[in-house]
Amino acid sequence: MTFKKKLCLGIINFCVLMTGCTGSKKSAADSSSLKDLYKSDFLIGTAMNVEQIEEKEPKAAALIPAEFNAITAENIMKCEVIHPGWDRYNFDLADKFVAYGKRKNMFIIGHNLIWHSQLAPFVSEIQSSDSFMLFMTNHINAVAGRYAGKVNGWDVVNEALNEDGSMRNSIFLEKLGEDYVTKAFELAAKAAPNTELYYNDYNIEQPQKRAGAIRLIKKIQAAGVRIDGVGIQGHWSINKLPLEDLEKSIKEFAKLGLKVMITELDVTVLPNPWDLKGADVNQNFEGDSAMNPYPSNISDSADTKLALYYESLFKLFLKYTDNISRVTFWGVNDGQSWLNNWPIKNRTNYPLLFDKNFNKKSAYEKVAALK
């Protein structure tokens, strides 16, 4: 921990102590929000969906600015929404999202510029490499350019790697070769000079994929192109806590001179068809009650296990506050999580810190109590 951070923490702790002397003894978790509790450590973020951006749900509208100081657009800045035709853009929702963040004084993350998924249909029809490069250039110039100085950070390239660390065989790789990643960062740096630029991927805490990410990042840096941070997504499972690999990854990424972020944190508590020995992933698991063990309420033991999981994670994050700049949850509450519909549709999952009624879960209390 740096001297500045220590001093800051010291002042905050002193104030808490003084308050404690005058009133009844209250734990930090009773009175503060996550963003306040972790103020001297790292930003606490959430992904936002359309309803939340438009403040249509009163409970979410109150909770988001109270608990979080960073926001990521869950879907509305992706190509299929923001750039639906070769020369057609739709900035309506993205403008609202950015205006919301500015109004609430939040750190705003654009997600994302270059990703093989959720592309607009016209993209797969582009034939030549030159036209494809023109598409990528136009896309980054238009989208990153529009929000230059307004969005604080961009996930410039998302999920470019396979599990073994090799380059994913995407349409970008196919049309442009593997230098497309460096090119995307170069374009983003020009279009949004004062915005932080990140590489974002899942499972990059795992050794092989981590090595691939390091190779990719070193390549960008060797080309003299700016990259400011790396996002470890953090889609984890209650059955596997990757603490050692995660700690190694935080250290290794920090050694590259990058900010490290946990960008899409959630922890599934449900069985995964791929973990079942001999499970055929093509088999239809929908409606199979064994795969949806908590349709109305999570069991006490799973709830406790989840709380302890989150506690261990945040203990680790607190060890690396000099390197970790942000921890973002992938959604506000359990009811809206993408994990209710993936990898099996229509299940009831419990991956976040707030339940579907926006109540704080045991996991929230554990994370708050660390401060």
Q: Which parts of this chain interact with ligand 9MR (CB under 6 A)?
A: 74-75, 117-118, 158, 233, 264, 338
Find the catalytic residue in 186, 205, 252, 264.
264
The closest residue (CB) to ligand 9MR is: 338
| Helix H or strand E encompassing 132 | helix 129-146
The answer to whether the CB of 44 falls within 8 A of the CB of 38 is yes
Find the catalytic residue in 159, 186, 196, 205.
159
Q: Find the shortest distance in angstroms from Cβ 282 to ligand 9MR.
A: 19
Q: Find the shortest distance in angstroms from Cβ 57 to ligand 9MR.
A: 16
Residue number with CB closer to ligand 9MR (109 or 306): 109
The yes-or-no answer on residue 264 being catalytic is yes
Residue number with CB closer to ligand 9MR (86 or 338): 338
Cβ-Cβ contacts under 8 Å for 65 (sequence gap 6 or more) = 104, 106
Residue number with CB closer to ligand 9MR (253 or 362): 253
Q: Find the shortest distance in angstroms from Cβ 40 to ligand 9MR.
A: 29
Cα(35)–Cα(368) distance, integer angstroms = 10
Residue 359 per-residue DSSP state: P
Residue number with CB closer to ligand 9MR (46 or 362): 46
The encoded tokens of residue 227 equal 């990259």
* Residue at 122: amino acid letter: F
Q: Find the shortest distance in angstroms from Cβ 265 to ligand 9MR.
A: 11
Residue number with CB closer to ligand 9MR (75 or 137): 75
* Other CB atoms within 10 A of residue 68 CB: 23
Q: Find the shortest distance in angstroms from Cβ 263 to ligand 9MR.
A: 8
**Is the torsion defined by CA of 55, 61, 66, 70 positive or negative?**
negative
Q: Find the shortest distance in angstroms from Cβ 243 to ligand 9MR.
A: 21
The encoded tokens of residue 248 equal 């190694």
Residue number with CB closer to ligand 9MR (71 or 368): 71
The encoded tokens of residue 306 equal 């989840």
Cα(167)–Cα(189) distance, integer angstroms = 22
Instruction: For residue 323, say if its preceding peptide bond is cis, omega within 30 degrees of 0.
Output: no
**Nearest one of 50, 150, 137 to 87, comparing CA atoms:** 137
* HSE-CB for 200 with a 13 A CA cutoff: 28
Residue 333 per-residue DSSP state: B
**Nearest one of 318, 247, 351, 363 to 39, comparing CA atoms:** 318
What positions carry a catalytic annotation? Answer: 159, 264
